Amino acid sequence: MEFYWPASSGEWLAWISAAIAVLFGLILFFAPGLSMKLLRLAPAGGRPEAFASIRATMAGFHLGLGLSCLVFAQPFLWLALGAAWGFSLFGRLISIMSDKGGTFYNWGAVVLELLLAAGPLLFAFGFIA
> Does the pLDDT value for residue 116 go beyond 80?
yes
Q: What digits encode the pLDDT tens for the residues 74-99?
A: 999 999 999 999 999 999 999 999 99
pLDDT reading at 36 higher than 90: no
The domain ranges of the chain are 9-124
Inform me whether the pLDDT recorded for 53 exceeds 80: yes
* Average pLDDT of the chain, as a whole number: 93
pLDDT of 6 > 90? The answer is yes
Whether 15 has a pLDDT exceeding 70, the answer reads: yes
Rounded average pLDDT over 100-112: 95
Of 72, 71, 87, whose CA–CA distance to 121 is shortest? 87
pLDDT band at 1 (very low <50, low <70, confident <90, very high): low
Q: What is the mean pLDDT of residues 106-125?
A: 97
